[in-house]
């Protein structure tokens, strides 16, 4: 029997534009499916469907939210022979061999460095979290051991999310402006594994990355190890005396410094004896913009990571915030978001550089990395009319110093509502309220969603003037359970109060 469930992303989400392309509502969801009922090709390369539909599949997930396109399949395994048969099907997948960079040869001809093995097999020496059908105690009883996983992207969706130069982007994401990730198998080997690695037959087109403790080039007996070098992005000179800080996650959004070190005369650093845990790495140095360089998930206590980091010198950028009549607006908080280095790739700052406008509406963003940034402004009851997708250059060269940034903000309104059943009573199910512009979400429009309170009430603040559609949906929901859409008109300073009737506010049938 196959069970399919939809997990809706919760919480309050306000967007001044459609942050991710949303061709249809399903792209705002994560799909989870149990069992091995065959799945049709969703736009994958040739050969991927055969791996996806192996009978040992326990289930799959589709993400990310607000975009979709990444398929993650999980499998059990009866032994090495069973895994080898899966690897043969995996090795038959046909994808382009990506050119990673180019060189100029001695005769002046350009030479491309091509990845000759386009498929990836990663080996781990820890047990993957079991696959559970549904949630709760009963689901735990039916948990199945996961021996290996298969991850593959729909290329069109990947490029839509991360490659479109005119689209919205999350420059902090590791996929930003990168090639489509290789189709990938991760295999998990521990004392209970039926797979004997020494007997695994790896196809010729598959590149192996062995992450087991005995395979890494340093000793991890005492704990995890991170090492690498730090360079100046503009000159590729070594950065001496940079602090490399490792912070451990203690709560969902709380971090505590676990250890730090400093780069030596060769720009080299090493952190070792790292206990189990989930960590974030950031680097700071005098005269340079602080940079987050990723996470370190030390699941088994013996993980290893090696990388080189690039830092940019700090630069400031000035600007002014005004209303649509040219009057300055004081007290506005201005943030630099989606910062990029001069390489055009994401440069994630541990804290977004920010400033507050003075009595003349002027601001100065300091500690920006040289490169590019987008600007977001926040003030009570105001909406940023200037596009949040505009990209501003951040340069330390005086001859390239641009004019001050000009941001326009305007007044907004409020929508207050309450979800009720057809009997007039508050809902007994969890609900979400969604607000979308009349005509649908598109780039440059405002919309959002939020979790309703237990009594069914919700409130959207800072809504730009215009016509909007309000819909209330149970969370989770089945098809057809959304309320009838309500049209509202928002004016500057106006407050709209409404009731949204949903016939399924108290229904629990079939759940």
Question: pLDDT per residue over 327-375, tens digit each?
Answer: 999 999 999 999 999 999 999 999 999 999 999 999 999 999 999 999 9
Q: What is the pLDDT of residue 102?
A: 60
pLDDT of residue 135: 55
> From CA 476, how far away is CA 465, in angstroms rounded?
31
β-strand 413-420 against 495-501: which pairing, if any?
A: parallel
What pTM was estimated for this model as a whole? 0.82
**pLDDT at residue 477, rounded to an integer:** 80
Task: Specify the pLDDT at position 103.
Answer: 63
pLDDT of residue 172: 80
pLDDT at residue 433, as a whole number: 95
Residue 204 CB neighbours (<10 A): 8
52 phi and psi angles, rounded to 5 deg: -60, -35
- Tens of pLDDT, residue by residue over 191-201, are 999 999 999 99
Average pLDDT of the chain to the nearest whole number: 88
Domains defined along the chain, listed by start:
35-215 (no CATH), 224-311 (2.60.40.10), 314-409 (2.60.40.10), 413-501 (2.60.40.1120)
Express as a percent the part of the chain with pLDDT over 90.
72
271-275 mean pLDDT: 97
Cα-Cα-Cα-Cα dihedral of 402, 344, 253, 280, to 10°? -120
Contact (CB, 8 A) for 499 and 426: no
Q: What is the pLDDT of residue 467?
A: 95
DSSP 199: G
Distance separating the N- and C-terminal Cα atoms of the chain = 17
Phi-psi map region of 215: left, alpha, beta (phi>0 left; psi -120 to 50 alpha):
alpha
Residue 325 to residue 330: CA distance in whole angstroms: 15
d(CA 88, CA 206): 10
Look at residue 398 and tell me whether its pLDDT is greater than 90.
no
Size (the chain), residues = 511
Would you put residue 129 in left (φ > 0), alpha (ψ -120 to 50) or beta?
A: beta
Convert the pLDDT of each residue in 18-49 to its tens digit: 332 332 333 345 688 899 999 999 999 999 99
């Amino acid at each position: 029997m196959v069970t399919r469930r939809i997990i809706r992303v919760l919480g309050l989400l306000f967007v001044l534009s459609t942050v991710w392309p949303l061709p249809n509502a399903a792209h705002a969801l994560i799909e989870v499916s149990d069992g091995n009922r065959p799945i049709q090709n969703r736009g994958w390369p040739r050969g991927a469907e055969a791996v996806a539909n192996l009978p040992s599949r326990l289930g799959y997930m589709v993400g990310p939210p607000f975009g979709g396109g990444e398929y993650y399949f999980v499998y059990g395994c009866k032994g090495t022979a069973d895994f080898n048969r899966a690897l043969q099907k995996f090795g038959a997948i046909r994808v382009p061999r990506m050119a990673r960079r180019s060189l100029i040869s001695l005769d002046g001809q350009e030479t491309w460095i091509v990845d000759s093995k386009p498929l990836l097999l990663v080996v781990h020496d820890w047990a993957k979290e079991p696959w559970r059908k549904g949630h709760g105690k009963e689901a735990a009883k039916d948990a199945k051991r996961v021996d290996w996983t298969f991850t593959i992207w729909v290329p069109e969706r990947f490029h839509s999310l991360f490659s479109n130069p005119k689209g919205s982007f999350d420059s902090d994401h590791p996929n930003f402006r990168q090639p489509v990730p290789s189709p990938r198998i991760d295999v998990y080997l521990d004392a209970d594994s039926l797979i004997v690695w020494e007997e695994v037959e790896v196809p010729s087109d598959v590149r192996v990355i062995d992450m087991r403790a005995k395979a890494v080039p340093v000793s991890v007996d005492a704990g995890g190890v991170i090492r690498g070098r730090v360079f100046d992005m503009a000159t590729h000179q070594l950065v001496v005396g940079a602090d490399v800080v490792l912070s451990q996650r203690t709560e969902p959004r709380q971090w505590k410094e676990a250890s730090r070190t400093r780069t030596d005369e060769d720009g080299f650093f090493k952190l070792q004896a790292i206990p189990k845990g989930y960590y974030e790495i950031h680097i700071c140095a005098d005269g340079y913009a602080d940079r987050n360089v990723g996470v370190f998930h030390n699941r088994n206590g013996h993980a290893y990571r090696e990388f080189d980091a690039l830092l940019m010198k700090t630069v400031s950028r000035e600007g002014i915030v005004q209303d649509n009549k040219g009057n300055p607006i004081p007290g506005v908080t201005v943030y630099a978001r989606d910062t990029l280095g001069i390489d055009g790739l994401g440069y994630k700052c541990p804290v977004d550089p920010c400033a507050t406008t003075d009595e003349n509406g002027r601001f100065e963003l300091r500690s920006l990395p040289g490169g590019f940034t987008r600007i977001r402004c926040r003030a009570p009851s105001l909406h940023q009319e200037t596009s949040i997708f505009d990209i501003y250059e951040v340069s330390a060269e005086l001859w390239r110093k641009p004019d001050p940034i000009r941001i326009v903000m305007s007044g907004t309104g409020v929508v207050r509502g309450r979800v009720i059943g057809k009997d007039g009573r508050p809902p007994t199910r969890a609900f979400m309220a969604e607000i979308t512009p009349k005509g649908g979400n598109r780039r440059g429009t405002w919309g959002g969603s939020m979790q309703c309170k237990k009594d069914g009430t919700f409130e959207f603040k800072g809504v730009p003037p215009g016509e909007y559609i309000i819909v209330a949906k149970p969370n989770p929901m089945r098809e057809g359970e959304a309320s009838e859409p309500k049209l509202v008109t928002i004016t500057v300073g106006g407050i709209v109060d409404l009731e949204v009737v949903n016939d399924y506010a108290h229904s629990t049938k079939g759940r």
